Structure 1
Amino acid sequence: MELESSKKRNLIIAVIMIGAFISSLSMSLLSSALPSIMRDFKVTANIGQWLTTIYMMVMGIMTATTAFLINRFSTRKLFMFSMSIFLIGCIFSMFANNFIYLVISRMLQAAGAGVMMPLLQVVVLKLFPIEGRGRAMGVVGLVVGFAPTIGPTLSGLVVDSFGWRSLFYILTFISILVIISAYFLLENIGTTMKSSLDILSLILYALGFCGIMLGVTNEGSYGWISVSTYLPFVIGVICLLVFTLRQFKIKTPLLELRVFKNHNFTVINILIILAYMALMSATVIIPIYVQSMRGYSAFYSGLLMLPGSVLLAVLSPLTGHLLDKYGARSVFITGMIFLLVGTLAFSFLSSNTPLIYLSIMYCFRMIGLAFLLMPLTTWGVSSLDEKYISHGTAIINTIRQMAAAAGTAMLVTVMVTAAKNNKNTSQVLASIHGVNISFEVSSVLIIIGLIISILYFKKDRN
């Protein structure tokens, strides 16, 4: 009976994991295809990166609703509906005939994808006892870390051979298979309860998040003194402040922010912000450097990331086990050190840096992220009471998406701005200078994370 129950549990997790994997894969799948799309639709890097940024923004907005959705709707119904929305977005992307249409189709994909990861994490946390959560969530780390990092490699291979539209043919085909499998195999986990979605909170959050992101992105084109930059940024900050105050006053908040009274949970979220800013920024910037500044194909830019992606896949379950065995301090400090070494190495790129150097340093980054991505989430959520797991998971995933989107927009903006201000007569050398400055900024953020890990996590705080 126990064996049958274990098989059923693994089957449920497998179905949801595949759906979460392709939705997470889609987030970075356009990284290596971005230069081709930019050429086809005649847009700049600052505009083109919105295909990734808008995806993460919409995912962040949707993720904020998952505590309500997971408690309100059955696992099966929620998964099927979300996958269907993702599928519709993929179909629209296949036939996009202009950049705006492609952006809208990406928003549809993100609306479906935003539910997948929190749903998977909540299901795993409910099905496994606390002493086994590290290892179980380590497997989930394959989705969180491996999918976005394998995206550029897969994208490069497919784009060079068949063009960027073929990426969406693949996603469409897999999505259809997942929906069919879920119809026959997926069962409900936990119970549902009647609750209401606070629409005003959702609007405030969406305006706040998008306003800040728009301001950060526009800085690269207009500068901070432009109304196009500071107006949306200020509106965004005000909306998020009002949103935060409202969550403490209403009976059923969109996000239960009282969980931040737990100091462990608060510190974990700070580290998650730093880790995800580092993860997604490199995923976008490295392909631009390899293709646009060095002249290599999309396949090569993806191929140099492949060893690091494989390392992340292999190490993710292991780091979950290490978290269960040795606690947070050793795991988090190790992760920050590896991430810092790999990121700092990217701030010394030139016009003739060997690709093998990029690949090796990218491996260091992926080793670091394997020690950080899911261990941070697992440790943070496990520090909360059982009744707050769905809210804690929603908050962590919301912050993860915000950090990834903000990191991409901010560090691409730093890259573009530094390139513009560089006095070098060569456009390529000026652009490479921008890349180096961007990774220097990223390195500073990781140093902050390392200091926090050393000072906060003591040996008795496991």
Structure 2
Amino acid sequence: MNFKMDNRMQLLVLFTLAAALITIAQSIITTGVVYLMSDFSVSSTQAQWSYSAFLLVVGVMIPLSAFISRRFSARTIFLFALSVFLLGSIICYFSNSLLVLIFGRVLQAIGNGIVMPYVQILLLRIIPEEKWQTYMGLYGLVVAIAPVIGSFAGGFVITYYGWRALFSFFAISTIVLLVLGLIFVRDDSPTENYPLDYLSVLLSVLGCGGVMLGFTNVADYGFAHYFVILPIVVGILALIFFVRRQSKLEKPLINISILKNKYFSVGTVFICILYFALNGCTAVVPIFIQGIAYNSAIFSASVLFPGGLLIIAFNFIGPLLTNRIGIKKVLIMGCILSIVGFATMMFYTQDSSFEFMMITQSIRYIGVGLALMPATTWALSMESDKVEDGTAVNNTLRQIFAAIGSSMVVVIVAVLAGGAIDHNSASVIAFNQTSLILLVLHIIMLILAILYIDDKDKIENQKLG
């Protein structure tokens, strides 16, 4: 690295601010799903595409992150990503149909898929490894604050001003960041003439996109429909060819060989399950509160807001605790708290009080906050000399599972409810049963933490021994 530390930290701050804004855009639309259903006369599963499509496109973009970070300067990445995000925000604001809205969300997601992994790569490049947990905690703190406050404020904005006001906020904020980027982001980040294998790009798009599209189509067509089976089959075959091709390339799009590291793989599996459940709940809990229990968007946002504040705090506390007591104990605590949270969700009813739902969701969020950043940083530290590839693999897989989770959890509730989520007892029971399924997934995570995850120095000593 031949550019000054103050320049690098300046870059990191601006990219983190951009990541915070983009993170708000990812999930804030879930608060307005019920309003989208009404305005565009669509079902809950169709309206949910405004969220699922965002996650799907991010999952498709992230495999390119290692190439982008090596090939282009920070200035180019910053200005291009935010310009695309701005265009998407404007299209969403003026959309007159769900399809146009989804197209705007796709453009927003392209910006997200470029910025989010690059911030992480930038941080891991310039911060010494022994400080990764602390700085990843700070990064998680900033990025977590934005969507939580955004979702809470979004409930009020949607109720009083409509969902389009959200996108006017994104447009104005992005313009401000672009101006700051033009002034402060310089072309002094290191680049290399890294080749882009177009066939690998095509295979990754077909693979990631096919798998996620197939699972999200389950909501509308059921598990046996060719709109579900065909994309999944195409996606799996494309991913198989993608993996085989990477092993033959001198400079692959993604260095898949890092998955041979058992600990990196275990950490990635842990994170994938965590994101599946987290994004599934992000989608389905507001639907339960508003669509099944018939409460307002403000009520829904207020239930989730305290937990959101806690996940912010524990996004920072988790890494600090990891430095003090070790990764294993922190992840075990996180899993246990999440299990308690899902266990209490099995007792939700249409008459559940605000206080009960708020407290139980807060418990779940503490568990997530404890585990999220420590698990991510730990997995990447297992391949600390390959941060670009590790970030690409880790982020791609977790985003695929996040997209699948955001749709599949809603689908599971709908299927268990008899085909549709509504204001009835069948939907309540279905939500309770789905909570049990998510609880079991967290038990699997707990087992992984107990059996395989430990501090890096202990693992290295075991290898030497």
TM-score, normalising length: structure 2: 0.93
Report deviation, 1:177.
Answer: 0.8
* Map of 1:282 onto structure 2: 281
> Do 1:29 and 1:154's aligned partners in 2 also have CA atoms closer than 8 Å?
no
> Do 1:28 and 1:149's aligned partners in 2 also have CA atoms closer than 8 Å?
no
Report deviation, 1:143.
Answer: 4.6
Give the counterpart letter for 1:327 in structure 2: G
* Map of 1:442 onto structure 2: 438
Once the two structures are overlaid, the 10-residue window that deviates more, 320-329 or 392-401, is 320-329
Q: What CA distance in whole angstroms lies between the structure 2 residues aligned with 1:166 and 1:316?
A: 29
> Do 2:93 and 2:164's aligned partners in 1 also have CA atoms closer than 8 Å?
yes
Alignment of 1:5-24 (within 5 A): 8-24=7-23
- Root-mean-square deviation (CA), in Å? 2.0
> Do 1:150 and 1:305's aligned partners in 2 also have CA atoms closer than 8 Å?
no
* Map of 2:43 onto structure 1: 44
Residue 188 to residue 436, structure 1, CA distance change in 2 (3 Å): farther
> What SS is found at the alignment partner of 2:29?
coil
> Do 1:213 and 1:409's aligned partners in 2 also have CA atoms closer than 8 Å?
no
* Map of 1:267 onto structure 2: 266
Alignment pair present for 1:249 and 2:245: no
Stretches of structure 1 lacking an aligned partner (at least 5 in a row): none
Q: What CA distance in whole angstroms lies between the structure 1 residues aligned with 2:82 and 2:325?
A: 37
Give the counterpart letter for 1:377 in structure 2: T
Residue 210 to residue 143, structure 1, CA distance change in 2 (3 Å): farther
Q: 2:429 aligns with which of 421, 429, 433?
A: 433
Report deviation, 1:407.
Answer: 0.8
Q: What CA distance in whole angstroms lies between the structure 2 residues aligned with 1:119 and 1:370?
A: 22
Once the two structures are overlaid, the 10-residue window that deviates more, 145-154 or 84-93, is 145-154
Alignment of 1:181-260 (within 5 A): 181-187=180-186, 190-260=189-259
> What SS is found at the alignment partner of 2:346?
helix
Residue 178 to residue 108, structure 1, CA distance change in 2 (3 Å): same
Q: What CA distance in whole angstroms lies between the structure 2 residues aligned with 1:9 and 1:248?
A: 33
Give the counterpart letter for 1:266 in structure 2: S
> Do 2:24 and 2:151's aligned partners in 1 also have CA atoms closer than 8 Å?
no
> Do 1:145 and 1:373's aligned partners in 2 also have CA atoms closer than 8 Å?
no
Give the counterpart letter for 2:399 in structure 1: Q
TM-score, normalising length: structure 1: 0.94
Give the counterpart letter for 1:453 in structure 2: A
Report deviation, 1:272.
Answer: 0.6
Q: 2:402 aligns with which of 404, 410, 423?
A: 404
Deviations 1:282-315 (A, max 9, x none): 1111111111112211111111111111111122
Report deviation, 1:188.
Answer: 5.1
* Map of 1:28 onto structure 2: 27
Give the counterpart letter for 2:31 in structure 1: S
* Map of 2:463 onto structure 1: none
> Do 2:16 and 2:142's aligned partners in 1 also have CA atoms closer than 8 Å?
yes
Report deviation, 1:151.
Answer: 4.1
Alignment of 1:52-201 (within 5 A): 52-187=51-186, 190-201=189-200
Alignment of 1:255-404 (within 5 A): 255-386=254-385, 388-404=386-402
Once the two structures are overlaid, the 10-residue window that deviates more, 389-398 or 7-16, is 7-16
> Do 2:276 and 2:405's aligned partners in 1 also have CA atoms closer than 8 Å?
yes
> What SS is found at the alignment partner of 2:398?
helix
Q: What CA distance in whole angstroms lies between the structure 1 residues aligned with 2:145 and 2:371?
A: 13
Q: 1:417 aligns with which of 407, 415, 418?
A: 415
Sequence identity (%): 33
> Do 2:90 and 2:167's aligned partners in 1 also have CA atoms closer than 8 Å?
yes
Q: What CA distance in whole angstroms lies between the structure 1 residues aligned with 2:366 and 2:130?
A: 24
Deviations 1:59-81 (A, max 9, x none): 11111101000000011211111
Once the two structures are overlaid, the 10-residue window that deviates more, 432-441 or 48-57, is 432-441
> Do 1:145 and 1:370's aligned partners in 2 also have CA atoms closer than 8 Å?
no
Q: What CA distance in whole angstroms lies between the structure 2 residues aligned with 1:131 and 1:190?
A: 23
Give the counterpart letter for 1:372 in structure 2: A
Q: What CA distance in whole angstroms lies between the structure 2 residues aligned with 1:53 and 1:437?
A: 22
Give the counterpart letter for 2:289 in structure 1: V
Report deviation, 1:403.
Answer: 1.3
Deviations 1:156-205 (A, max 9, x none): 11101100000001111111111111111224564100012222112212
Q: What CA distance in whole angstroms lies between the structure 2 residues aligned with 1:150 and 1:449?
A: 28
Q: What CA distance in whole angstroms lies between the structure 2 residues aligned with 1:264 and 1:146?
A: 30
> What SS is found at the alignment partner of 1:65?
helix
Once the two structures are overlaid, the 10-residue window that deviates more, 215-224 or 16-25, is 215-224
Give the counterpart letter for 2:431 in structure 1: V
Q: What CA distance in whole angstroms lies between the structure 2 residues aligned with 1:196 and 1:203?
A: 15
